[in-house]
């Protein structure tokens, strides 16, 4: 079991924060395709090429981060930076991997409002349409992996039904709790160990503090949100980041509930930004940088972008730090595995509900829109075109639809 020992590295030579920063900056500029693709880029660069750690240790780390709420690829990068160069290395990895896409979406947010004419409005409409195809692909892939039997498929349907009557964050949290309870009742966890072990420079004391901060912020921020808009924004994005299970796309319905339903961001601006987020490398969570910029009430712009970005990533890193010393023992418990199986099945239902509303209902107005969305889906699924390429196709298709209208 992981204890209070210092990090046991596969690499004989320790690195520096500067080395970590330049390595992850390269990855942040070139890692297209979503969290699963990011993990492949990490393995090729850091396991195969740079030999920072073994394949065995890397697989164990990936298993941990996929088990936890939060952005899995960013959590893996944070932990790899910590392994290589301590806490400063973790900060360097996060900053370098996140910065390129965050800056690109910040620029898009600050310029999209000035786009006019059939070309500009058509391209933005295309970005809304491509979100239908991308979310549909995510639902399909997650359903195959997380709902492999009739019982877990039923849990996903129950989650959709709950959201039909309890829309918003309350329904989503309730669906995850019910899904976890049903998974525990099914008892499909085997208790078999997953992979080997990897130790980190995190003592149980530090882990305990991180978990207390994670829970404390989750409880206290809603109580403090009324004290100012900045706290309200931080609360909304922190809560969204804390409840994301099953991949980066699940943040879509959570953020929609937090910023669109209160009227902070319009539905059209939300979906256009989500489409744009598919065309940039790096973590999908940087969508928060766009949303923070276009918020109606202040703080918005650059300040809003920074607040939203830090708030949405923070809970995932806190809970990662909090479980590191205890992970090996917990993940080998059959009841823990059963609980997470049910929660992950509910997540599929949550994302499926978001595919219908707001994504489909807001983006698809007629058969031409549907045809473009279907073409994008086929390009993703059958032609295996990278998401950024499909975004370009959708933008051009949106322009075509606008010019022919």
The average pLDDT across 68-75 equals 88
pLDDT for 198 equals: 54
For the cut 60, the answer to whether the pLDDT of residue 61 exceeds it is yes
Q: Is the pLDDT of residue 185 over 90?
A: yes
- Mean pLDDT, residues 295-322 taken together: 95
115 belongs to a structural domain: yes
Q: Could you give the percent of the chain with pLDDT greater than 70? A: 90
**Predicted confidence (pLDDT) at residue 172 exceeds the cutoff of 80:** no
pLDDT exceeds 90 at position 304 = yes
Boundary residue ending a domain (78, 96, 114) = 96
pLDDT band at residue 402, thresholds of 50, 70 and 90? very high
CB 402 within 8 Å of CB 122: yes
Higher local confidence (pLDDT), 377 or 363: 377
Same domain, residue pair 301 and 381: yes
Range of the domain at 55: 17-96
What does the pLDDT average to over 48-56? 82
Tell whether the model's pLDDT for residue 10 goes beyond 50: no
Q: Phi/psi at 350 (nearest 5 deg)? A: -60, -45
- The closest of 289, 287, 280, 271 to 127, measured between CA atoms, is 271
Specify whether 105 is located in the same domain as 91: no
End-to-end CA distance of the chain, in Å? Answer: 64
**Mean of pLDDT values over 43-61:** 81
Distance CA 405, CA 403 (A): 6
**31 and 53 share a domain?**
yes
Cis, peptide link before residue 308, omega less than 30° from 0: no
Number of folded domains in the chain? Answer: 2
Co-location of 151 and 127 in the same domain:
yes
Which of 60, 75, 96 is the last residue in one of the domains? 96
Other beta carbons within 10 Å of 20:
29
Residue 1, pLDDT above cutoff 60: no
Is the pLDDT reported for residue 266 higher than 80? yes
Q: Considering only 83-97, 190-204, 348-362, which range has the smallest mean pLDDT?
A: 190-204
How confident is the prediction for the chain on average, in pLDDT?
Answer: 86
pTM for the model stands at: 0.77
| pLDDT at site 331 | 64
Residues 353 and 381 in one domain: yes
Q: Are residues 265 and 365 in the same domain?
A: yes
Asked if residue 169 has pLDDT above 70, the reply is no
* pLDDT tops 70 at residue 227: yes
pLDDT band per the 50, 70, 90 thresholds, residue 260: very high
Statement to judge: residues 40 and 146 lie in one domain:
no
Residue 19 CA to residue 33 CA, distance in Å, equals: 24
pLDDT score of 179: 93
pLDDT for 281 equals 86
Question: How many alpha carbons fall within 13 Å on the CB side of residue 314?
Answer: 20
246: pLDDT confidence band, cut at 50, 70 and 90?
Answer: low
| Same-domain pairing of 278 and 349 | yes
Shared domain check, 111 and 60: no
**What pLDDT shows up at residue 326?**
82
Considering the domain boundaries, does residue 299 fall inside one?
yes
The answer to whether residues 41 and 170 belong to one domain is no
Q: Which of 80, 96, 112 is the last residue of a domain?
A: 96
Predicted pLDDT of residue 4 = 37
In a domain, 322, yes or no: no
pLDDT of residue 328: 66
Whether 176 and 256 share a structural domain = yes
Instruction: Write out the chain in H/E/C secondary structure.
Output: CCCCCCCCCCCCCCCCHHHHHHHHHHHHHHCCCCHHHHHHHHHHHHHHHCCCCCHHHHHHHHHHHHHCCCCHHHHHHHHHHHHHHHHHHHHHHHHHHHHHHHHHHHHHHHHHCCCCHHHHHHHHHHHHHHHHHHHHHHHHHHHHHHCCCHHHHHHHHHHHHHHHHCCCHHHHHHHHHHHHHHHHHHCCCCCCCCCCCCCCCCCHHHHHHHHHHHHHHHHHHHHHHHHCHHHHHHHHHHHHHHCCCCCHHHHHHHHHHHHHCCCCCCHHHHHHHHHHHCCCCCCHHHHHHHHHHHCCCCCCHHHHHHHHHHHHHHHHHHHHHHHHHHHHHHHCCHHHHHHHHHHHHHHHHHHHHHHHHHHHHHHCCCHHHHHHHHHHHHHHHCCCCCHHHHHHHHHHHHHHHHHHC
Q: State yes or no: cis peptide before 155, omega within 30 of 0.
A: no
Pick 113 or 107 by higher pLDDT: 107
Would 53 be classed as within a structural domain? yes
**pLDDT recorded at residue 8:** 42
Check residues 329 and 230 and name the one with the higher pLDDT. 230
Q: What is the pLDDT of residues 383-393, one digit of tens each?
A: 999 878 888 99
Q: In angstroms, rounded to a whole number, what is the distance separating the alpha carbons of residues 343 and 383?
A: 31
| Residue 193 forms part of a structural domain | yes
Task: Identify the CA nearest to 152 among candidates 344, 366, 399, 367.
Answer: 344
Is residue 148 one of the residues assigned to a domain? Answer: yes
Q: Is residue 231 part of a domain?
A: no
> For residues 203 and 324, is the Cβ–Cβ distance under 8 A?
no
Q: Are residues 164 and 60 in the same domain?
A: no
Task: With respect to residue 124, please indicate whether it lies within any of the assigned structural domains.
Answer: yes
């Amino acid at each position: 079991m992981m204890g209070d020992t210092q990090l046991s590295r596969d690499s004989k030579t320790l690195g520096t924060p500067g080395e970590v920063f330049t390595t992850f900056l390269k990855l942040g500029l070139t890692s297209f395709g979503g969290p699963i693709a990011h993990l492949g880029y990490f393995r090729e660069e850091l396991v195969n090429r740079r030999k920072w750690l073994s394949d065995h240790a890397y697989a164990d780390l990936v298993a941990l981060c996929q088990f936890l709420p939060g952005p899995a690829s960013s959590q893996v990068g944070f932990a790899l930076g910590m392994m290589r160069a301590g806490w400063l290395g973790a900060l360097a990895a996060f900053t370098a991997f996140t910065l390129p896409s965050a800056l690109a979406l910040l620029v898009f947010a600050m310029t999209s409002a000035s786009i006019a004419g059939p070309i500009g409005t058509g391209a933005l409409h295309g970005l809304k349409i491509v979100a239908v195809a991308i979310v549909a692909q995510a639902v399909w892939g997650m359903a195959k992996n997380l709902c492999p039997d009739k019982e877990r498929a039923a849990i996903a349907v129950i989650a959709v039904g709950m959201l039909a009557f309890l829309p918003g964050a309350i329904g989503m949290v309730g669906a995850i709790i019910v899904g976890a309870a049903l998974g525990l009742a099914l008892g499909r966890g085997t208790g078999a160990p997953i992979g080997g072990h990897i130790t980190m420079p995190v003592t149980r004391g530090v882990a305990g503090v991180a978990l207390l901060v994670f829970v404390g912020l989750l409880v206290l921020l809603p109580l403090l949100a009324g004290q100012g808009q900045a706290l309200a924004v931080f609360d909304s994005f922190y809560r969204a980041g804390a409840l994301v299970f099953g991949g980066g796309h699940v943040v879509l319905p959570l953020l929609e509930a937090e910023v669109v339903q209160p009227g902070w961001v319009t539905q059209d601006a939300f979906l256009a930004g989500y489409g744009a987020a598919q065309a940039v490398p790096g973590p999908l969570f940087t969508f928060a940088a766009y949303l923070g910029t276009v918020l109606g009430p202040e703080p918005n712009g650059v300040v809003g972008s920074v607040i939203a970005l830090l708030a949405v990533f923070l809970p995932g890193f806190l809970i990662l730090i909090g479980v590191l010393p205890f992970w090996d023992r917990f993940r080998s418990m059959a009841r823990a595995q059963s609980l997470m199986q049910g929660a992950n099945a509910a997540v599929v239902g949550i994302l499926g509900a978001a595919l219908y509303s707001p994504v489909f209902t807001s983006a698809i107005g007629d058969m031409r829109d549907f045809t473009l969305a279907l073409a994008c889906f086929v390009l993703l699924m059958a032609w295996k075109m990278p998401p950024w390429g499909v975004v370009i196709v959708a933008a051009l298709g949106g322009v075509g639809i606008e010019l022919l209208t």
